[in-house]
Amino acid sequence: MNSKTKTWLLRILRAVAIVAPFVWIYAQLDYVELKAVLQRVPYWVLAMALLSPLLPMAMQAFRWWILLRTAVTDLSLWKTIECHFAASFYAMILPGASAQEVVRAFILSRQIDYAVVWGSTWLSKLLGLAGWMGIGLLGIAFEKQLLNLGSFNTHILLLASAAILSLALIASFSKRLTRPVRLLSERFVPKSLLKTLTVIRDAVYVFRTQYRALAYATITTFCIQFALIFGTAIVIYGVSGQFFFWPFAAILALIEVTIVVLPLTPGGIGLREGLMALLFTRIGIGTEEVGVYIALSFLGTLSRLVGGIPVVLGRVSQTTQKSAPIE
């Protein structure tokens, strides 16, 4: 099979992965009941669905800024927020759950030493995943009976993932632990790429003594995730009249981990909605109510268009003095 055929096959599979969950979801709906649910939705829910993602997005930029400031003390918070929102705008059309982090790092690495940018990006990703693991386990502990996830062995999945992430996070701060991986990768990875990865590893290693920055970044991570859970809970309350918090903590944790492990579609679209439909109904939310929530969640996606403002104004392309490389 030649490369062109593989490319087209991957595109077809990706399109199927996006469309199939929506077909499955909306094929199950009773459209008379769906209309009734829509008529009951108050207008404030529309505003909440549209605007609630903006706060977590700004907090994600703040967390990144905290980590970057350990090496670039004069970095502007506003500049970091602009780059983060612009990356969110670009990531709307790029595949993979990590597309936003990759684009964000690329944009700012043109202005700041790339090792610092990519090292902080790696730490942000690990902290985010580790945070979801912890919150997910708490959700399962508090609401195990309501979630009724015994057959899914979700707690085992989250515990195993948390253990792997903890090891990866610890290894990130130790050259001794990463050295065997580096020696093995020398056989398979091109030297130019290996050199870049080595510099990034050294940048991550620098954070081992930045206890205050790591503590602030960890606290911010939990604030981000609680804001996402609370936003989901409020919108679901507006749609269904039922308020849940810890069940959504467990469900959203499982969804976020899954779309990172299986980066099949841009931003996890399709896969995320399919998992929502599968898991939300298990805690007593009606199928039609889930359908309305999924439709409303696309308003939240539109909030990423805010990131187009600095792009249109040309502020993202403006460069600043490049920081000194890490010694």
Distance CA 138, CA 146 (A): 13
Under DSSP, is residue 156 helix (H, G, I), strand (E, B) or coil? helix
Cα diameter, the chain: 66
Give the pLDDT of residue 259. 81
Q: Which two tokens stand for residue 209?
A: 């003594």
Q: What are 116-140's pLDDT values in tens digits? A: 787 788 888 878 888 888 888 888 7
Low-confidence ranges of the chain (pLDDT < 70): 1-3, 93-99, 110-111, 144-179, 181-203, 267, 311-327
Q: DSSP code of 212? A: H
Give the pLDDT of residue 326. 41
Distance CA 263, CA 285 (A): 27
Give the pLDDT of residue 124. 85
